[in-house]
A and B are shown apart, each in its own frame.
Chain A
Amino acid sequence: MTDVLVVDNLSSGYGAVPVLRDVRLSVPAGTITAVLGANGAGKTTLLRTITGLVKPTGGRILFSGDDLRAVKVEQLVRRGIAHVPEGRGVVAELTVDENLRLGGLWRKDKADAKKATAAVYELFDPLARRRNHLGHQLSGGERQMLALGRALVARPTLLLLDEPSLGLAPKVTAQIMALLKHLRDTTGLTVLLVEQNVRGALSIADRGVVMSLGRIVMSADADQLLADDGLRHAYLGF
């Protein structure tokens, strides 16, 4: 299977404080890779460095063979990378409809962008009923649906999702995880999923990587991580 994303010896940080240290990671096309680890492990920084929100201090990031370090953040979505940041990234002052339109504004094929938006409304019924509500008027679950839906309007090849279950009810979390699995299986979407909800993430992921103190300390098939008590205790704490 071809690797869509290759992270090679990646290092980055905030000012003089290093966070990522020589991270190596490959994400095969059409798979879900779960990035796990405790708070402060560097999971969010990994995603932010991949999309250029944090500048790398070393290493390379290859997406379909192209080095992303030379690509501007606003160009990434045109290349097929959608990043749903932590905290859901909904523009609170815009309506649901405007948020979704924003997701497809860059697209030349306006008809397909409209079709993708309609598909999101079909997928997330609560959004269809609240299309004129402002972002800050939505519940946590609806905001997550909106952020995810807006990313899908771009019809990405690679979806970077940062803590989609944060603050959500278990039922909503399960729905979102099921949706990601469905998208992978039906559209071949590749997902790099940062999650604290280890069981939920591994239940849909093909692979799991565990981060600690800015490094990847463990990488294995998701099934193996879930089944092996020793691995779970050592790296995931349960």
Chain B
Amino acid sequence: MERFVFLTFDGLSRGAVYAAFALALVLIWRAARVVNFAQGAMAVVTAYAAYTVSDAVGSYVVGFAVALVGGLLLGALVERGLMRFVGHANPLNDVIVALGLVLFLTAVVGMIFGGEFRAANQPFDTSAIEVGGIPLMSRYDLFIWGTVATIVVLLALLFTRTAIGLRMRAAAFSPEVSRLLGVNVGRMLTLGWALAAVVGAVAGVLILPTELGLHPHAMDIVFASAFAAAIVGGLDSPVGAVVGGIIVGLILSYVSGYLGAALTPVAVLAVLLAVLLLRPGGIFSGVRARTV
């Protein structure tokens, strides 16, 4: 029972990060109908920048701020400098360009920082706090939950309570009508990519200390899990991304804890397959009335 409780809390922490990462994928999907396969590589770039600055100035907070600003700039740059020029008529074009970007960013990071694993510091202790003799969660887990919860709340407020959020949603759902209503759709698209990259950057900075550390390919498996989370929840649903992230986090924690860490990639694939077979649109895919 103790083990189950521990694995559950561990799964919830990992799930929170997968949720944030899945949310980043959903943001771009909703804004541009593109699955950003470069999200993981972009998060690696911002994580290297964050931890390099953090090590240099001796402040985790400054490094975290660098991740936020770096994500914002990188996301905007990728959209304005690359994705905007891709012909979107064939969805495969976006996928190929995104995969090309993965190779490019990974190579550049490898050239600058080398291919060795580097330690990624965390601001809080990662040893589990015991409650009633049962190890539950660490202070760092609490930090992860708090950060992800803050992101989710801020995004929800942005999209439901602000004019810019309304513009972003309208531009994503009906670009042409939005333009006729005075919305600068191109600017909203850039903002969508920038916001998604910020969320991805935060997720990267949060999860790296719990993994092996910094490495050009450090986010590969994380991306696969987050992608599965986004598919489980439904690529169109921010709520689905959060729930999908938690589900995938729990499954991976149980599989890793009971069956061995080597089986987690297989578990991710199994979850992905099951959802695609049973509910291809994801658990939270909307049911829409069709006009005939």
Chain A contacts with B in 93-113, Cβ cutoff 8 A: 93-94, 98, 101-103, 105-106
Query: Which secondary structure dominates where chain B touches chain A?
Result: helix
Partner of B180, one of A85, A105, A136, A137: A85
B166 vs chain A, min Cβ distance (A): 6
Residue B176 CB within 8 A of the other chain? yes
Whether the Cβ atoms of B179 and A74 lie closer than 8 Å is: yes
Chain A contacts with B in 73-87, Cβ cutoff 8 A: 73-78, 82-83, 85
Partner of B181, one of A53, A102, A140: A102
Q: Give the interface residue-count category, chain B.
A: 20 to 34
Residues of A within 8 A of B239 (CB): none
Measured in the bound complex, the distance between the Cα atoms of B176 and A78 in whole Å is: 16
Chain A contacts with B in 52-75, Cβ cutoff 8 A: 53, 73-75
Residue A126 CB within 8 A of the other chain? no
Residue B177 CB within 8 A of the other chain? yes
Interface 1/0 per residue, A113-140 and B, CB below 8 Å = 0000000000000000000000011001
Whether the Cβ atoms of B176 and A53 lie closer than 8 Å is: yes
Measured in the bound complex, the distance between the Cα atoms of B177 and A154 in whole Å is: 14
Measured in the bound complex, the distance between the Cα atoms of B180 and A150 in whole Å is: 11
Whether the Cβ atoms of A106 and B181 lie closer than 8 Å is: yes
Residue A230 CB within 8 A of the other chain? no
B235 vs chain A, min Cβ distance (A): 14
Which of B177, B180, B184, B288 has its CB near the most chain A CB atoms (within 10 A)? B180
Measured in the bound complex, the distance between the Cα atoms of B85 and A95 in whole Å is: 32
Nearest residue, chain A, Cβ from B181: A102
- Given that A74-B185, A78-B182 are known contacts, is A102 also in contact with B166, CB under 8 Å in the complex? yes
Residue B169 CB within 8 A of the other chain? yes
Partner of B173, one of A78, A82, A94, A106: A94
Residue A91 CB within 8 A of the other chain? yes
Residue A92 CB within 8 A of the other chain? yes
A214 vs chain B, min Cβ distance (A): 22
Residues of A within 8 A of B185 (CB): 74
Residue A18 CB within 8 A of the other chain? no
Whether the Cβ atoms of A77 and B173 lie closer than 8 Å is: no
- Given that A101-B166, A136-B288, A137-B289 are known contacts, is A74 also in contact with B173, CB under 8 Å in the complex? no
Beyond the given A77-B182, A105-B163, could you list 4 further A-B residue pairs with CB under 8 A, ordered by the A residue number?
A: A73-B179, A91-B177, A94-B173, A102-B170
8 smallest CB-CB distances across A and B, nearest first, come from A106-B182, A77-B182, A89-B177, A73-B179, A93-B173, A91-B174, A74-B179, A83-B180
